[in-house]
């Protein structure tokens, strides 16, 4: 322990002795674009209080003094988690090439999103302006680090109702109301100034719905136990058939045992409902990598629906609807970054009306929950043809028979020895098995061999 204590003493002495000799002093927003510093912002869990650990590194040869001012905003890497705003001034001093970590006091500026978890990643965003900046500076000046301040910020940033802004200090309320009224044009009432205890309760939840058909004007709304509308998360939004998850944050000042009703409505008609309590959590799903493709073959022109279905024939992802498809190999990419419930078996289906003309396993890793880095595999298919082959296809399939890649389509091959090079990518791990298949014009397997 003694050598460590001596080291700390020497470091502190250096900063005390050189505090007046810092060559460069500036705000975070000034120094970062100039490349003078590097930062990493990580959530500490929660939103109100010391919720971000900011690691700052001096990249230059001169010492720095860095100011982090109220109104500094950090954007969450997850769009369903809250963005946070700094409400307390911080100064950090760094020696040349030095680095340090400082805990930032923040508030949430997105009352509809979920509270960030420990380890959540953030990026520096544009600084607050107007009434939102004025609110951050008021909180810092008077050290109003409490739940009333959070409700006041929401009233400015998200238009959350003034009735949730109250507290135990009338002078504080007068200062907050001056900023809120400027932002919203709504004056505070006697109810806002009536002194009483203020406490915010936070619920992180998710809402899963499986839509069997198109919805033209969907609303996602939260209702209080007495049936009064508490919050609207989504309004008049169209949806295609399929599975959807909404990740939400619920913040309220009622008793912590209060139960709410979350509803998915279509033009006022309730389609789905879920009761929300303090025990709620966000249901974890299995993400589908953006590089996921589906490949299939049809032997005649069709107008079809292409989608991903579960074992009970429920549509989870709609890839194409009323799509005119020409004969041959078809390749589609799953582009929307959808997530699916794990532990289920899924199938790619091409349906002409209610009849499936193509059905094959879809992305088996979703069912197992296993994801592996992308691997590139190259090979050479060597074989001898006894008969001429017209309109032939060569594909790569996995062990389940799912087509991974199309090597060529509608090829013509004479008799004799053949060598066909191929290359494809997969995410099924180092022990996955793959096969090349040669298909005739009817889609029948003429030849197959495992790829070593």
- Structurally, the chain folds into a number of domains equal to 5
One domain, residues 208 and 238: yes
One domain, residues 206 and 170: no
pLDDT tens sequence across 228-242: 999 999 999 999 999
Range name among 13-17, 193-197, 304-308, 435-439 with the lowest pLDDT average: 13-17
pLDDT tens sequence across 95-138: 999 999 999 999 999 999 999 999 999 999 999 999 999 999 99
Residue 281, in any domain of the structure: no
Which structural domain, as residue segments, surrounds residue 427? Answer: 375-450
256 - beta bridge partners? none
Strands 64-68 and 24-27: parallel
pLDDT for the residue numbered 441:
83
**Residue 237, burial from CB neighbour count under 10 angstroms (0-12, 13-18, 19+):** exposed
Residue 149, in any domain of the structure: yes
CATH number at residue 247: 2.60.40.1930
Residue 8, in any domain of the structure: no
Residue 347, in any domain of the structure: yes
For residues 446-451, average pLDDT: 94
One domain, residues 118 and 161: no
Q: What interhelical angle do 130-142 and 147-157 show, nearest 10?
A: 170
Residue 420, in any domain of the structure: yes
pLDDT of residue 21 exceeding 80, the answer is no
One domain, residues 75 and 99: yes
One domain, residues 230 and 313: no
pLDDT of residue 156 exceeding 60, the answer is yes
Last residue of some domain: 332, 350, 368? 368
Last residue of some domain: 144, 166, 193? 193
The whole-angstrom separation of Cα 23 and Cα 56 is 17
Indicate the average pLDDT of the chain. Answer: 89
pLDDT tens sequence across 28-58: 999 999 999 999 999 999 999 999 999 999 9
pLDDT for the residue numbered 333:
81
CB atoms within 10 A of CB 427: 16
pLDDT tens sequence across 321-358: 999 998 877 888 877 678 899 888 899 999 999 999 99
One domain, residues 343 and 397: no
Residue 7, in any domain of the structure: no
One domain, residues 116 and 25: yes
One domain, residues 56 and 114: yes
CATH number at residue 313: 2.60.40
Residue 422, in any domain of the structure: yes
Strands 286-287 and 201-211: unpaired
One domain, residues 340 and 242: no
One domain, residues 243 and 331: no
The whole-angstrom separation of Cα 384 and Cα 411 is 16
One domain, residues 379 and 293: no
pLDDT band at 371 (very low <50, low <70, confident <90, very high): low
Residue 146, in any domain of the structure: yes
Structure pTM? Answer: 0.76
CA 7, 9, 12, 13 dihedral sign is negative
pLDDT band at 404 (very low <50, low <70, confident <90, very high): confident
CA 331, 334, 340, 343 dihedral sign is positive
Last residue of some domain: 340, 368, 396? 368
One domain, residues 208 and 247: yes
């Amino acid at each position: 322990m003694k050598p460590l204590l001596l080291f700390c003493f020497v470091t502190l002495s250096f900063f005390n002795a050189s505090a007046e000799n810092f060559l460069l002093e500036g705000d975070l927003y000034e120094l970062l674009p100039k490349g003078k510093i590097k930062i990493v912002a990580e959530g500490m869990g929660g939103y109100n209080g010391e919720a971000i650990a900011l690691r700052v590194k001096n990249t230059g040869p001169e010492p720095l003094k860095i100011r982090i001012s109220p109104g500094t905003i950090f954007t969450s890497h997850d769009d369903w988690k809250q963005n946070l705003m700094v409400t307390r001034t911080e100064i950090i001093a760094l020696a040349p090439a030095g680095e340090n970590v400082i805990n930032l006091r923040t508030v949430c500026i997105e009352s509809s999103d979920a509270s960030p978890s420990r380890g959540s990643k953030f990026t520096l965003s544009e600084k607050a302006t107007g009434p939102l900046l004025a609110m951050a500076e008021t909180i810092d000046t008077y050290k109003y680090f409490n739940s009333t301040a959070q409700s006041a910020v929401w009233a400015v940033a998200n238009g959350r109702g003034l009735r949730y802004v109250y507290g135990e200090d009338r002078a504080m309320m007068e200062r907050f109301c001056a900023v809120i009224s400027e932002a919203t044009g709504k004056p505070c009432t006697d109810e806002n100034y009536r002194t009483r205890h203020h406490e915010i309760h936070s619920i992180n939840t998710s809402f899963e719905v499986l839509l069997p058909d198109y919805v033209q004007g969907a609303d996602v709304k939260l209702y209080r136990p007495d049936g009064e509308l508490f919050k609207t998360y989504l309004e008049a939004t169209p949806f295609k058939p399929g599975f959807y998850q909404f990740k939400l944050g619920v913040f309220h000042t009622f008793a912590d045992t209060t139960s709410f009703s979350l509803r998915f409505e279509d033009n006022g008609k309730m389609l789905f409902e879920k009761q929300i309590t303090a025990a709620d959590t966000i249901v974890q799903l299995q993400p589908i990598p953006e590089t996921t493709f589906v490949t299939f073959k049809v032997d005649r022109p069709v107008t079809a629906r292409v989608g991903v279905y579960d074992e009970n024939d429920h549509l989870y992802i709609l890839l194409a609807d009323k799509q005119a498809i020409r004969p041959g190999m078809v390749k589609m990419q799953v582009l929307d970054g959808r997530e699916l419930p794990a532990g289920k078996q899924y199938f790619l289906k091409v349906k002409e009306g209610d009849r499936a003309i193509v059905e094959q396993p879809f992305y088996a890793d979703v069912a197992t929950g296993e994801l592996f880095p992308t691997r590139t595999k190259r090979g050479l298919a060597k074989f001898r043809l006894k008969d001429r082959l017209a309109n032939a296809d060569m594909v790569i399939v996995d062990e389940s028979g799912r087509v991974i890649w199309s090597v060529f389509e509608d090829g013509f091959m004479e008799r004799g020895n053949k060598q066909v090079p191929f290359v494809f990518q997969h995410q099924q791990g180092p022990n996955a098995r793959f096969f090349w298949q040669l298909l005739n014009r009817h889609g029948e397997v003429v030849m197959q061999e495992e790829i070593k």
